[in-house]
Amino acid sequence: MTQCRRDVEYTARKLIAFLKEEKGIDTRIDETSYRDYCVSVDIESWNSRLTLWYSPKRKSSKISVIRCENPETQDRIHMIWHEFIHGDILKNGDIHAFVDGSYINGKIGYGAVILKKGIVLHEFSGQINRPEYLQHYQVSGELAGVSKVFQWCIENNISRCTIHYDYEGIKKWATGEWKANKELTQKYQQYVSELPLDISWVKVKSHSGNLWNEQADRLAREAIKGKGSHGRIQQK
């Protein structure tokens, strides 16, 4: 048995134990589906099947839902996976926002997802069309996304929020850990310093299977293609 296979099996059995003990959900590993980098798990009561993938390079795991008839059930599976990997920090009652930016073929997009107690309150995205910002590529999108979150918090009388980000400049320019040498970063640093918000920062690894980071990235890329949500609210 290879080390990758052992890592896959270890994570799969931990996931099954978590689903049973924390969620009361019975699952079954398809023993015939084992490969060095993946294995499939059946949730028979939900008529669903997922594949667990392991990346030895990133030393991290992610899932893909390969059978599920109900979109709400699929969302729930992803949320449970997020809790399994990252803990239940999103359920502490604070506002949590995941932000990302993208640069494709000379166009810049931003995306953000805002949650409370693990439920999506708001998601939005858009393009940045100002020529002077193109030189900063996706960084402009990253900073626009987090600025939009701060604006939303102020408009909704929110005094405290947690920003989940994958580009470290989002925090380090805001806190002064990085010197702001460009007009864009100087304006961002000053803007954040004047906000009436208590801000916490959580660094996430990009493209590592983090559900809401991937969603923010998707929104940013779709905005570039003209498919941005531009303030679409999702309340459950």
Mean predicted lDDT score pLDDT of the chain? 88
Whole-prediction pTM: 0.69
pLDDT, tens digit (0-9, with 9 covering 90-100), for 129-187: 877 777 888 899 999 999 999 999 999 999 999 999 999 999 999 999 999 999 999 99
42-81 CB burial, b ≥16 within 10 A, e <16: bbeebebbbbbbbeeeeebbbbebeebeeeeebebbbbbb
Q: In the structure, what pLDDT confidence band is assigned to residue 235 with cuts at 50, 70 and 90?
A: very low
Annotated domain spans of the chain: 3-87, 90-224
Q: In the structure, what pLDDT confidence band is assigned to residue 72 with cuts at 50, 70 and 90?
A: confident
- The architecture of the domain spanning 90-224 is 2-Layer Sandwich (3.30)
Spell out the CATH class of 3-87: alpha beta
d(CA 227, CA 220): 9
pLDDT, tens digit (0-9, with 9 covering 90-100), for 33-62: 999 899 999 999 999 999 999 988 878 888
